[in-house]
Amino acid sequence: MPHVVLVAHQESVPFKELAKLAGVLQKQVLEHLQPFWQCSATVTAEAEWNRVPNGSWPIVFMNNLPGPLAGQHLQHNGRPIAYVETGPWQSVIASHECLEMIVDPNGQSLLRPTHAAGTLGGADMPIEYLVEICDPCVAPEHAYPIDDVWVSDFVTRQYYQPTQGAARWSFAGRVGGPGQVLPHGYLTWYNLSDGRWYQSQADAAGTTSVVHIPAPDVSGQPARLAIDRLGAVKRHACFASKPRPFAQVGGTPQHCAIDLDAELARHSATFQSKASPAKALAKSVKKTTEKSKARTKEKSQ
């Protein structure tokens, strides 16, 4: 079973607070996420980076985190790692990263909808959704509490692949139907017809618009992780602009062989790459798009 570990960079969060949040996220994973997505993980906290078990999936809390660095990445060993900026909404952001990390650790999961799930220019699109279960309801006002700690809402599999009859579109019920995007949220898909990525984005009033995804200025990341960088600054600003309206509540293992400072330097350097955006996108989504085309070809035969 995957092991998600919360750890603070340079003691940016008291360990007691991290330990409480780890317990809350463990409850969310086992009691809320698992019944809807049939996946699970162990969630714990460590006081120091050198005590993070080797092979685990760290969520690192940092002060003054650059917006584009926030979110999920891949370690050099191919396992996921996520960075969360400390602040009043850190529990919601950590919940977001934890849930998406467990559902799609490699950042490549796509789901074909069971209905004509969108139009552009009036034409139905054969599409595959990028599985980002917290992004349609990403804003802090859509969060819900567990034991006085606020966590992210998330959409269910039926949100992407609705069936007949009653359904639960998101765990907390914030989302009212398949494909709905709440204020500040977004939904991403790959168009099998033209080989391009699109996103339905909702503004503060909940008005949605469909846009082409521009080539992200990153390289060497799977599709979801590369495209997610496009929304990182926007998400960062969304949370930063909202002061928290709730009370802040906050044998010997083999330890992590990953050098955290080296990982931070490597991921930061990614965003300073001078590679052309077009080449970056092609490299980021090559495997995902090839798999999508192969599935389409198989179904047409």
Please check whether residue 70 is in contact with residue 60, taking contact to mean a CB–CB distance below 8 angstroms. no
Query: Helix, strand, or coil here: 198?
Result: strand
CA distance 190 to 257: 36
Indicate the number of domains in the chain: 1
Please check whether residue 83 is in contact with residue 73, taking contact to mean a CB–CB distance below 8 angstroms. yes
Q: Tell me which amino acid residue 183 is.
A: P
CA distance 118 to 10: 45
Q: Residue 97: which of 33, 158, 46 has the closest Cα?
A: 33
CA distance 30 to 27: 5
pLDDT tens, residue order, the chain (301 aa): 999 999 999 888 999 999 999 999 999 999 999 999 999 999 999 999 999 999 999 999 999 887 767 888 888 888 999 999 999 999 999 999 999 999 999 888 889 887 644 444 334 568 889 999 999 999 999 999 999 999 999 999 999 988 877 789 999 999 999 999 999 999 999 888 888 888 999 999 999 999 988 654 445 566 667 666 666 556 666 666 665 544 333 333 445 555 666 766 766 665 454 333 334 333 444 454 455 556 556 655 5
Place of tokens 């990390």: 101
Residue 87's domain spans which residues?
3-300
Please check whether residue 82 is in contact with residue 73, taking contact to mean a CB–CB distance below 8 angstroms. yes
Taking every pair of Cα atoms in the chain, the longest distance, rounded to a whole number of angstroms, is 62
Query: Helix, strand, or coil here: 236?
Result: helix
